[in-house]
Chains A and B, each alone.
Chain A
Amino acid sequence: MQEHFQYLYEMLTQVQGYIYPNEIDLQWGLLIVLYPYITGLVAGAFILASLERVFNVKVLKPTYELALLTALAFLLVATMPLISHLGHPERFYEIMITPHADSAMAIFGFVYLWYLMVVLLLEIWFDYRREIVIWSRQEKGLKKWLYKILTLGVTDLSPRTLRWDEKIGYFVTVVGIPSAFLLHGYVGFIFGSVKANPWWSTVLMPVIFLFSAMVSGIALVLVIYMGVSYLRRKKIDMKALDTIAKYLFYILILDFTLEGLDQVHRIYEAEESFEILSLLVHGPLFLTFFIFQIFLGTIIPLVSLGILQLYKPGEMARRTIYFISSILVLFGIFFMRWNVVIGGQLFSKSFYGFTDYKIRLAGSEGLLWSMVWIILPFLILAFLLWLLPPWKKAEAKSI
């Protein structure tokens, strides 16, 4: 115990200004940055898929299934950063079996489960059911059994049943849109409802999280579509790519405007916390806020995608610009989450000082472990693309 005190006394001399002792160490680190980031990618990818299905943007057909599978791959990992952040990860299920109605986090478990079970799995199942049945008859060995299980015993391919697939699938997608909004709006709500923290507590937080989710999810699908086409040595459908980039541009404008509105509101209100927040963004967050999030992650993609709406260079140039812009958007949105989660804990609730945050390399809160949660969805996606290849759906259709 004495060593802890020695450590605390030493740390207290290394902070800036005046902070309370329990604010020295950040409770929420890199893993909690990943949680809204990954959840946002899910919601964004799903909303891109629903543009094709519900809003009838047929030109996006080549990316429809890819977007759905991307959403599923990332959704399966979305809670992992939270679970590995727990002191006792083996007790993770307790939040589900004894949920407290007042706990925003406990209710998130059910929002997540609803989205996974009722929306995403069902939509993918209804979309692929016909092909799964056909593949279960054509394939051999392990794959055949996997497909047989996935049919859930519904092997009827009569036109009437296929029409039901279409109808119910459409209904699930319609239900899915508000559910996707709920899923990520809810993540924003978890932060926005912390009234003790002036950097988080704004009613705009769920809306900002939602739009930044759409931006990041669309950028991710664009990057994955280009990557998968490259690996398969297939020509990219430029009409689809141009349309995705157009939506990325529009939603990026909305996202930037909303975030700007939030900041303008904060600056104009200039509440008692304003001074510390101003010091926060001009000091500890300068690099990640102004340079990474706003300049690299928003302004450069906005300008480059904006120029392409007016002037269309050759396909190669467009592809390169789309790719770089999407990577920058993904980079910028990651730092938007960083600035919210880490930024909100860097300043003292006394409004008189700052602590510091350094990422550890190893350990359950470290960089290496976080990299696992970023890489794992791509491995899951590779498996899903092997099991349910969207490009083989067209072949199965002709049977």
Chain B
Amino acid sequence: MPPQLKTLIPLFILFILAFLIARHFLVPDSFGKEGHYRFESVEDNKEMPMFYAGNEACAECHDKAAEMEYDMHADLTCETCHGPGMAHYENPDNKLIMPRDRSFCGLCHASNNTRKYKLAQVDLEEHNPGMKCVECHNPHLPWEIAE
């Protein structure tokens, strides 16, 4: 055997062995228990702060959540407009946002040719300029127009 290989082959074997030994110590104990991940990471994730509470949590106190079932915004979650609600759910003194600006409604409803046609769209500059959308439209029941 060439002298080069007499040195290189043991060196490569040593390298692979060192890799396997390092791997043995570096792979976390719970890795692979339930899948290709560190199972204990589930516990770590559980400890992370939660920001969203979900519609059911809102419905525990707010009847209004139920009325939304019958109108165009029925598919939206409360937190889509009011922001993450867990802090409010845990302590009602933490107020949620109540967006009332035209520009907020415009995020979905400002005229934009690229939007799906099913989505109601208005030209914010022409449609009752200066007025707030919520003066006429109840955001929970948008087709219930105020007189």
Chain A interfacial positions (CB closer than 8 Å to B): 1-2, 5, 9, 12-13, 17-18, 93-94, 97-98, 100, 117, 122, 126, 129, 152-154, 156, 161, 164-165, 168, 350, 352-353
19 A-B pairs within 8 Å (CB atoms) are namely A1-B83, A2-B97, A5-B83, A9-B107, A13-B106, A17-B114, A18-B112, A18-B115, A98-B31, A117-B12, A122-B8, A129-B4, A152-B7, A156-B3, A161-B2, A161-B4, A164-B2, A168-B2, A350-B114
Query: Which A residues touch B3, using CB under 8 A?
Result: 154, 156, 161, 164
The reply to whether B4 and A126 contact each other, CB–CB distance below 8 Å, is yes
CA distance A94 to B41 in the complex (A): 14
Q: Which residue of A lies closest to B6 (CB)?
A: A154
Question: Which of A13, A154, A164 meets B103, CB within 8 Å?
Answer: A13
CB distance from B16 to the nearest CB of A (A): 10
CB distance from B131 to the nearest CB of A (A): 20
The reply to whether B83 and A12 contact each other, CB–CB distance below 8 Å, is no
Query: Which A residues touch B7, using CB under 8 A?
Result: 152-154
B127 within 8 A of A: no
Beta-carbon contacts under 8 Å, B96-143 to A? 97, 103-104, 106-107, 112-115
B27 within 8 A of A: yes
CA distance A156 to B83 in the complex (A): 74
The reply to whether B97 and A98 contact each other, CB–CB distance below 8 Å, is no
CA distance A18 to B115 in the complex (A): 6
Query: Which B residues touch A164, using CB under 8 A?
Result: 2-4
Query: Which A residues touch B104, using CB under 8 A?
Result: 9
Chain B interfacial positions (CB closer than 8 Å to A): 2-5, 7-8, 11-12, 15, 22-23, 26-27, 31, 36, 51, 83-84, 97, 103-104, 106-107, 112-115
CB distance from B90 to the nearest CB of A (A): 14
CA distance A1 to B22 in the complex (A): 40
The reply to whether A100 and B114 contact each other, CB–CB distance below 8 Å, is no
Given contacts A152-B8, A168-B5, whether A97 and B23 have CB atoms under 8 Å apart is yes
The reply to whether B36 and A1 contact each other, CB–CB distance below 8 Å, is no
Q: Which residue of A lies closest to B23 (CB)?
A: A97
Query: Which A residues touch B11, using CB under 8 A?
Result: 152
Query: Which B residues touch A156, using CB under 8 A?
Result: 3
Taking A5-B97, A164-B3 as known contacts, 15 extra A-B pairs with beta carbons closer than 8 A to each other, sorted by chain A number, are A1-B51, A1-B84, A2-B83, A5-B83, A12-B107, A18-B112, A18-B115, A117-B12, A117-B15, A122-B8, A126-B4, A153-B7, A154-B3, A154-B4, A164-B4
Q: Which residue of B lies closest to A9 (CB)?
A: B107
CA distance A100 to B112 in the complex (A): 43
CB distance from A170 to the nearest CB of B (A): 13
The reply to whether A17 and B23 contact each other, CB–CB distance below 8 Å, is no
Query: Which B residues touch A152, using CB under 8 A?
Result: 7-8, 11
Query: Which B residues touch A12, using CB under 8 A?
Result: 107
